Amino acid sequence: MSLDFKPGEFSDFFRDETFRGDFTYRNSPHLIRRFPFPFDRDDYMYAVNMEPHVPGRKGTAFEHILDVDEHYVAEMIDRAQVLAEDPLRCQSLPHMTLAGWDVLEFIMETKARDYPHWFTLERDGHRWRWINRPLGIDHSFTFLDESTLPYGPFEYITRQTQGDWTLQDERDGTLWMDAGIATSQADWSVDFDVGMNFHEWHAPVPIAHDLGVFDRALKFLLKLQHGAPVRRFNWTMTVNPLLDTAPETYPRWGPMRTTLTPENMGELMHLRVELQSLYRLPRSNAIAFDIRCYLARFDELVTVPKWARRLHRVVRDIHPDLAAYKGFLRNRDMMTEWLSRHDDGAPTSPGWWPED
């Protein structure tokens, strides 16, 4: 049994593009304006910044709980390529199987409800039928019976879902990352982090520990209730529209940072935003952590005047330790100079919406 899929049925909506090699990834004009721009003010400091994860403005990345956009099929093809090269990018410790079924049920129910033209879930007791039209999948299986799936439940459904996912088991007064899939991560490794507790896997983040950010975040998350998910932003910078910027592939993408010039800055430098959402799962009591990655070129972002001004000011004024952690300290001066051409000095309104 395998998860071979046959994309193309919805090629009039889903883009045929690449995140490697010739890098044909682009955002349509519509998608630029629905990009989840992460800065609600003209400066940045690491913070918990949690808010309820509820459906938001129509036509934005927040309209539905799980956002399916024009990059869906291409991202799933890229995920399959990464996993074929390195199966350890997806791991689940044995005691997390029930949590994997929780995630499978949540994703299938949510997509079938919010995108019925693309996804269908039919249930007759434990006999389920899942139809994923964009990927050409029509599969019947028995819920809670792993033998009826080509992979474990966690891997099966996350191979069909944008964003990286981790599962946190709660024990000993903390959270343990005991399952994960990561093919679009910002320089962290499932193989390295699996089995670590909350503070251990966040250890590389500068400044935030001294500010008590992670102590507060853990205290908050341990109180997370089923049916009351939360979300937050994280972000970094990436040269070229690379989904896969893992430590394991650093020799491929690390040297790309040296290819920036003032002439190619707008095309090559990408703001990489993670819309992170967390859900308490009903059967296992684990926490699912969805890390949805969005990419936008600088020359796409500066078509929105408010974002052009704000991005310049954030890059210009950010603490050097944070610029280093987010991977652009060596290029910050060049980035600042390029962005300054698109900052007319006008004040910006609060919040991240482009028209406010």
What distance in Å separates the CA atoms of residue 354 and residue 29, rounded to the nearest whole number? 13
Residue 343 token pair: 């900052």
CA 290 to chain centre: 7
Q: How many C-beta neighbours within 10 Å does residue 280 have? A: 21
Active-site pick, 133, 216, 232, 316: 232
Q: What share of the chain is helix, strand, coil (3-state, %, to 5)?
A: 35, 20, 45
Residue 1 CA, distance from chain mean position: 28
Backbone angles phi, psi at 209, to 5 degrees: -65, -45
Distances from the Cα of 195 to the Cαs of 87, 156, 170, 178, 218, in angstroms? Answer: 17, 21, 12, 5, 16
* Residue 89 known to be catalytic: no
* 74 φψ region: left (φ > 0), alpha (ψ -120 to 50), beta (else): alpha
Residues with catalytic annotation?
232
